[in-house]
Amino acid sequence: MTTPAEISVPKEAKNLPKEKFDELENFISSLETTKGALVQILHKAQHIFGYLPREVQLFIARRLGIPGAEVFGVVSFYSYFTTKPVGKHTISVCMGTACFVRKADNIIEGLKEKLGIEANETTKDGMFTLKDVRCIGACGLAPVVLVDEKVYGRVKEEEIDEIINEYRK
Amino acid sequence: MAENKDMISIRINDQKLEVPNDITILEASNRAGIRIPTLCHLDLHDLKMVNQTASCRVCMVEAPGRDMLVPACVTKVHDGMEIRTDSLRAIRARRMSVELLLSNHPNECFTCAKNLECELQSLAHELGVREIKWAGEKMQFPKDMSSDAIVKDANKCIMCRRCETMCNEVQTCGILSAISRGFDAFVGPAFNIPMVESSCTYCGQCVAVCPTAALTEVNHTDKVWEALNDPDKYVVVQTAPAIRVALGELFGMEEGTIVTGKLATALRRMGFDAVFDTDFAADLTIMEEASELIHRIENNGTLPMLTSCCPAWVKFIEHQFPELLDIPSSCKSPHIMLGTVAKTYYAEKIGIDPQKMVVVSIMPCIAKKAEAKRPELTKDEESNVDIVVTTRELAAMLKEAGMDFPNLPDSDFDRPLGETTGASVIFGTTGGVIEAAIRTAYDWMTGDDLEKVDFKQLRGMEGIREATVKINDMDLNIGIAHGLGNARKLLEDIRDGKSQYHAIEIMACPGGCIGGGGQPYHHGNAKVVKKRQEAIYREDKNKKLRKSHENPEIIKLYKEYLGKPYSHKAHELLHTHYEARERI
């Protein structure tokens, strides 16, 4: 179960680039009407910013003249939307049944330790986001790790460093 | 009744009915005297709030010819329709809806703040629920106790969305929204921030319509008992105008009964050292506010001037219109003024150290709890209000004390801060503050003694009202709004330079303080607010003095202590300032 703390959106100190807001503004202005367009606008915003921080959600709320709570209600409803910045690379560990019986939990624990983050978090340097995902349909290769689009099959714990280092260069 | 051409024939439980063609099954059955239970549905008619989410499925009825049961609250009737509300299938379906709601509801009715006031509880009783059939997983949300006013316990939320409709559509604050999805869904502010970090005004209208205890007020009754039992404390109590026309309801008395005398007796028997009346401070507010209005008119000051008695409205303008903070009157709200006068003038008079004085306010309002904690009003510890309890909390305390309230003898408030006028009583209803201000401003500006003090054009329940009062050769344009959505409209006009008003009264709650978030629950019966309003005007009419500036104790207070209205000393003690706040 998701607890409220997990879905809260932290206030960020860093300033988001103005050009990105301009790009979003241009998109919204190009729409014939903003009525019923919230989801579409959020998609665009996530594409531009990579995620939907508080400031972006409030920007959209003001622009559309609707409460911030309403925007957040929609953002929190759809699992596609993320309110946390995503790293340059996303490491997804398959936790489906086949991978699980082949010790995928050891793999993800090892990754958590090496990266110093929990699942669904991003490393401080912004390089990696770690995700536990449901079956990705490559059970023959279990346990499977995906880095962005690249598939690593029959992963062993001792290979974790090697995989990470490929992207750390 | 509508003309015949719009009428259609339907049958409900074999009863033949002629009804208009555009109403719901629920409305039709109400006309036939057949009760269909509802939970999420709420229609407050005069207060212009309708919640029609059809989410609870408690009003399911059978419409033969249709496979599925239909929710009566949103299904329109049609000609020849036959409806059964009493079939076994319908009765069982309604009961199951409640049983499902109970499957993840905390079973703590005994200790719940809404025990015996909970609509879910009474429905479970009414629909014959005798066991918790499905003991499913329970929600585990932490209680939000971040604010001084409202407690939010999402575990008790049944997702009826009444609070959202009230907050977003009526009050236009937009604080509450459904967040997340499915079992994890709950109602809360944006980004799941604590209530205290949101732009909530604490008007408490969400609390007023919540059917369960998902939204309640912060309970401060223990603090009052502690103060009363502390021999070192001198405990002063004051009671707002709207209490005396509503408190009786919680003791089975008829709606709109005036209980002023019993209230004074009850408070004295509880052990308060001085039983004062916020009405006194309302008269004081008028002295300052009418002076300020005249000052602004004569000196080309900022107009319109807006009343500032309502802390929820003040917080609303701070968050929503921070660019307009020079338009509200700088007057503190009446109960804060009384706290100040009690701890200065009165404390001096009776020779008591103000540090030892505790001022308790009995308010129809939840926002007053947060107001009393505002830093600019508490910086001077010797002149603030210490504890605020609502009408409901007071009733609970009187019950704890075993008071036979309806049979108490009448008594009067203590002097000097218990002397009042009719002008101060009407502060409790929409239109009352501005009428009281006009009664005084008129006399002061004309030098006359106005005989006809009833400004009926300022009264009523319309959300926005306006009137023009001729004073000398000036047409004084007055606007009145109650409910924050209506206030927003007037404020937008002011911001856009379209406002023609000189003075505007705003109260956050529909109906004004009589409909406040801390008043006895109306349970969807908005007529009760109207009855309280009628009682307020009756109380005004029965007063010998009807104008604030004629209150002899007010005259004495200025003579002995404050000097002239709007003087330097009055400014120091009775006025305040506002700050721009973030909008989330």
**One-letter amino acid identity for A163?**
I
Going by pLDDT thresholds of 50, 70 and 90, the confidence category of residue B350 is very high
- Same domain? For A43 and A98 the reply is no
Give CA–CA dist B338/B354, Å, rounded: 13
Preferred mutation among A1, A64, A82 to probe B, highest tally of B CBs within 10 A:
A1
Give CA–CA dist B477/B503, Å, rounded: 7
Residue B345 sits at the vertex; the CA angle it makes with B348 and B555, to the nearest 5 degrees, is: 135
- Same domain? For A62 and A94 the reply is no
- Same domain? For A53 and A8 the reply is yes
The CATH code belonging to domain B4-42+54-100 is: 3.10.20.740
pLDDT value of residue A1: 39
Q: List active site positions of B.
A: 289, 292, 309, 329, 368, 371, 376, 513
Q: For residue A83, tell me if it sits in a domain.
A: no
For residue A132, what are the contacts with CB-CB under 8 A and spacing of at least 6? Answer: A92, A93, A95, A108, A119, A120
Q: How many domains does chain A fold into? A: 2
Which residues of chain A lie closer than 8 angstroms to B168, CB-CB?
67, 70
Q: For residue A122, tell me if it sits in a domain.
A: yes
What is the pLDDT averaged over residues B328-355? 96
Q: For residue A131, tell me if it sits in a domain.
A: yes
- Same domain? For A138 and A162 the reply is yes
pLDDT value of residue B35: 93
- Same domain? For A59 and A94 the reply is no
For residue B430, what are the contacts with CB-CB under 8 A and spacing of at least 6? Answer: B460, B461, B480, B482, B505, B507, B511, B512, B533
What is the pLDDT averaged over residues B411-427? 96
Pairing of strands B503-507, B474-482: parallel
CATH 3.20.10.10 fits B221-574, yes or no: no
pLDDT value of residue B453: 87
- Same domain? For A23 and A73 the reply is yes
Q: Which residue of A has its CA nearest to B140?
A: A3
Residue B227 sits at the vertex; the CA angle it makes with B226 and B233, to the nearest 5 degrees, is: 140
How distant is the alpha carbon of residue B24 from its chain centre?
30
pLDDT value of residue B190: 95
Widest distance between CA atoms in chain A: 55
Q: What is the pLDDT of residues B319-336, one digit of tens each?
A: 999 999 999 999 999 999
Going by pLDDT thresholds of 50, 70 and 90, the confidence category of residue A14 is low
Nearest CB to A4; choose among B142, B174, B177 = B142
Q: What is the pLDDT of residues B362-408, one digit of tens each?
A: 999 999 999 999 999 987 777 689 999 999 999 999 999 999 999 99
Q: What is the pLDDT of residues B352-366, one digit of tens each?
A: 999 999 999 999 999
B110 near A CB under 8 A: no
SS3 of A136, please?
coil
Nearest CB to A67; choose among B154, B177, B193 = B177
Rounded to a whole number of angstroms, the distance from the CA of A77 to the nearest CA of chain B is 5
Start-end of CATH 3.40.50.1780 domains in chain B: 221-574
What is the pLDDT averaged over residues A57-81? 91
pTM assigned to the model: 0.89
pLDDT value of residue A9: 65
pLDDT value of residue A121: 87
Start-end of CATH 3.10.20.740 domains in chain B: 4-42+54-100
Q: Which residue of B has its CA nearest to A84?
A: B191
Q: What is the pLDDT of residues B137-184, one digit of tens each?
A: 888 899 999 999 999 999 999 999 999 999 999 999 999 999 998 888
- Using the predicted structure, report yes or no on whether residue A2 has a pLDDT greater than 70: no
User: Where in the sequence is the domain holding A46, given as residue range(s)?
Assistant: 4-77
For residue B477, what are the contacts with CB-CB under 8 A and spacing of at least 6? Answer: B466, B467, B468, B500, B501, B502, B503
- Using the predicted structure, report yes or no on whether residue B3 has a pLDDT greater than 60: no
Q: For residue A34, tell me if it sits in a domain.
A: yes
Q: Which residue of B has its CA nearest to A71?
A: B190
What is the pLDDT averaged over residues B267-292? 97
pLDDT value of residue B476: 92
Of A45, A77, A109, which residue is a domain's last?
A: A77
- Using the predicted structure, report yes or no on whether residue A4 has a pLDDT greater than 60: no
Contact criterion met (CB < 8 Å) for B190 and A67: yes
Residue B150: half-sphere exposure toward Cβ, Cα within 13 Å: 31
Q: For residue A82, tell me if it sits in a domain.
A: no
Q: What is the pLDDT of residues A90-149, one digit of tens each?
A: 899 999 999 999 999 999 999 999 999 998 888 988 899 998 887 888 899 999 999 988
Return the CATH number at A95: 3.40.30.10
Contact criterion met (CB < 8 Å) for A70 and B186: no
B146 near A CB under 8 A: no
Where residue B204 falls (left for φ over 0; alpha for ψ -120 to 50; beta otherwise) is left
Q: What is the pLDDT of residues B430-454, one digit of tens each?
A: 999 999 999 999 999 999 888 888 8
Residues facing residue B503 across a β-bridge: B305, B478
Q: For residue A39, tell me if it sits in a domain.
A: yes
What is each CA distance from A151 to A78, A139, A141, A144, B239, in whole angstroms? Answer: 26, 12, 9, 7, 72
What is each CA distance from B103 to A146, B182, B277, in whole angstroms? Answer: 40, 15, 47
Q: For residue A84, tell me if it sits in a domain.
A: no
Of A21, A48, A77, which residue is a domain's last?
A: A77
Question: Which value does ipTM take for this structure?
Answer: 0.87
What is the pLDDT averaged over residues B40-65? 86
Of A49, A77, A105, which residue is a domain's last?
A: A77
Q: What is the pLDDT of residues A15-54, one digit of tens each?
A: 788 999 999 999 999 999 988 899 999 999 988 998 899 9
